[in-house]
Amino acid sequence: MSRIKSSRMRQPLGFVLVAGLVLSVGACDGGSASSASAVNGPTSAAPLTASTATLTGGASAPDTPTATSSLTPLRTPEVARPVRDSLFGLHALSGTPTVTAGSWRLWDSGTQWAQLNPARGRYNWSRLDDMVAKGRGLGVKDFILVVGLTPRWASSRPSEVLPWSPSASPAPPKDLAYFDQYVAAVAAHNRTVLGGAITGFQVWNEANLSMFWTGTPQQMALMTAHVDRIVKAEDARYPTSARRHTLVVAPSITTRRGSLPLGAASCSLVRWHDACFASRYLAALSKVRGAGNRRWPVDVFSAHTYPTPQGSPNDRVAMIGLFRDRLREAGAPSRPLWDTEVNYGFAGTVISGSRAVQYLARTYLDSVRLNVSRAYWYAWGPLAPGLAGITMDRRTSATGAYATVQGWLRGSVFRGCTVNSGVRSCAFTLTSGSSVRPFRVLWTDSGVHSVAVNASVAVWRMNSRGRAVRAPSATTVRVGRTPIKIG
């Protein structure tokens, strides 16, 4: 996106789903299910006094739970996937973030190819160095740099200019040697000056959109292979004691604009986007060779899962599925999947308050359960009008939600999810010394349901500012679309 465009392990948590019918065991969301766990605590209780959060900027969830009549324990699937700090990515466009992200993606940050390499053989690294220094000062240890866009001086069609970046062109370079020289220079600068702070180079941004790329999927695949060869060659120049494995990240593709299957009726280039770019690019990528003659010369696949302006986290989940379908159809190897840009509510749709909290929390919880290794929120700082619906800065609820969910999940191990009568329950464990503490996070896709819990177990909700608030002790809690933590 650009600023201009639209002690020993405790007993398992005791809680069961309360619903209006006899429940079967919930569908597993993240692995195979194990045997049902014992239910701890009472099987009926008065409703929790803390109310379900009211949504703002959109429809509100009903605040009356469904009727109760029978109980069935939830089961925990056997999954063990660590939640790493790098899950919580961020674009730091302006100001000083008050959240500590696990990784920064350097894009819309004055660090494009055209800005760092303003003329052939001439480089200006000051902005890149400043961004890395700023991030490091805030505790960021991981940076991803987007390699594009083509400088006009290197463009095969210099008349194609980006209105928000007049020194850049969406066209491919007229000579691939220009691209190779830049990638080699920035990779060497990363090693010699930045000490390998840049842990990954992303080949391009939103290559299915003509505002960023007017070349072919085949050309983009070839450029991907070149990045892989150059970056891996530079890795070999690090001292053995400091050897790096710098990641090559595939160009991002906006899922709702570029992930239709080949043969779809609207597969041709329509106005400003290629609806089938993902399929075309993956087909081409399978045929090129990178470092060491390796096939599929990327370490990470990348999607941008922005829904439509009125879309919700449920729509983002569908976008992730759409992109994985294309990977499967292409026969792509197993690689991590990152969402390198995400937000909601374009074209003037403002999302704030409790709904922003809900969307932000769901973004990272869905990423964990769907094995999307990283999600880079776009962005910290004020955005151009209509660009994105959720603003994240020191004044907004999104900031509180980002910090709260990060605090819940950081250092934990994801154990899988179950779904029972509309309530999704995701299990985690957190280890401290010899103690392993289990906890769960629950939410619904719609409506409100009641869940019985052991009254001694802590229940945490997020308020309209995204901050965690402990609910009064009770034996039943109401679960709605804003995630809650139990344990």
Place of tokens 């043969």: 263
Asked if residue 182 is part of any domain, the answer here is yes
Question: Facing residues of 435 across strands?
Answer: 432
Are 436 and 291 in the same domain?
Answer: no
Are 27 and 94 in the same domain?
Answer: no
Residue 430 DSSP SS3: strand
Are 317 and 453 in the same domain?
Answer: no
Q: Kindly state the tokens that stand for 427.
A: 């299990």
Asked if residue 304 is part of any domain, the answer here is yes
Which pLDDT value is given to residue 262?
Answer: 76
Which pLDDT value is given to residue 349?
Answer: 87
The pLDDT tens digits along the chain (487 residues) read 654 443 333 334 444 444 332 223 234 454 333 333 322 232 222 222 222 222 233 333 444 555 332 223 445 556 899 999 999 999 998 889 999 999 999 999 999 999 999 999 999 999 999 999 999 999 999 999 999 999 999 999 999 998 888 999 999 999 999 999 999 999 999 999 999 999 999 999 999 999 999 999 999 999 999 999 999 999 999 999 888 999 999 999 999 888 878 766 667 655 567 888 999 999 999 999 999 999 999 999 999 999 999 999 999 999 999 999 999 999 999 999 999 999 999 777 899 999 999 999 999 999 999 999 999 999 998 877 667 899 999 999 999 999 999 999 999 999 999 999 899 999 999 998 999 999 999 999 999 999 999 999 999 999 999 999 999 999 999 999 999 999 9
Asked if residue 214 is part of any domain, the answer here is yes
Torsion of CA 310, 317, 101, 343, to 10 degrees: -20
- Strand 484-486 to 412-420 pairing: unpaired
Task: State the CATH number of the domain containing residue 184.
Answer: 3.20.20.80
Are 456 and 439 in the same domain?
Answer: yes
Q: What are phi and psi of 436, to 5 degrees?
A: -120, 115
Are 98 and 70 in the same domain?
Answer: no
Strand order in the sheet with 15-19: 70-73, 15-19, 449-453, 476-479
The pTM for the full model equals 0.86
Convert the pLDDT of each residue in 257-293 to its tens digit.
Answer: 888 787 666 676 555 678 889 999 999 999 999 999 9
Are 141 and 31 in the same domain?
Answer: no
Are 133 and 275 in the same domain?
Answer: yes
Question: How crowded is residue 276: how many other Cβ atoms within 10 Å of its Cβ?
Answer: 22
Which pLDDT value is given to residue 275?
Answer: 85
Asked if residue 238 is part of any domain, the answer here is yes
Q: Among 319, 342, 365, give the residue marking a domain's end.
A: 342
Asked if residue 171 is part of any domain, the answer here is yes
Task: Give the helix, strand, coil percentages of the chain, each rounded to 5.
Answer: 25, 25, 50
Q: Among 342, 377, 393, give the residue marking a domain's end.
A: 342
Which pLDDT value is given to residue 11?
Answer: 39
Q: Among 342, 368, 399, give the residue marking a domain's end.
A: 342
Which pLDDT value is given to residue 302?
Answer: 99
Are 252 and 217 in the same domain?
Answer: yes
The percentage of residues in the chain with a pLDDT greater than 90, rounded to a whole number, is: 74
Is-cis flag, bond preceding 149, omega within 30?
Answer: yes
Which pLDDT value is given to residue 270?
Answer: 54
Are 135 and 228 in the same domain?
Answer: yes
Side chain identity, residue 48: L
Number of structural domains the chain divides into: 2
Which pLDDT value is given to residue 272?
Answer: 63
The residue range of the domain holding 464 is 15-80+415-486
Are 334 and 421 in the same domain?
Answer: no
- Strand 88-92 to 337-342 pairing: unpaired
Convert the pLDDT of each residue in 321-351 to its tens digit.
Answer: 999 999 999 999 999 999 999 999 977 789 9
Of 354, 339, 325, whose CA–CA distance to 261 is shortest?
A: 325
Of 443, 439, 433, 431, whose CA–CA distance to 415 is shortest?
A: 439
Asked if residue 133 is part of any domain, the answer here is yes
371/482 Cα distance (integer angstroms): 21
Are 52 and 191 in the same domain?
Answer: no
Which pLDDT value is given to residue 334?
Answer: 98
Asked if residue 402 is part of any domain, the answer here is no
Are 165 and 205 in the same domain?
Answer: yes
Rounded to 5°, angle at Cα 25 from 19 and 30: 115
Is residue 416 within 8 A of residue 76, CB to CB? The reply is yes
Asked if residue 378 is part of any domain, the answer here is no
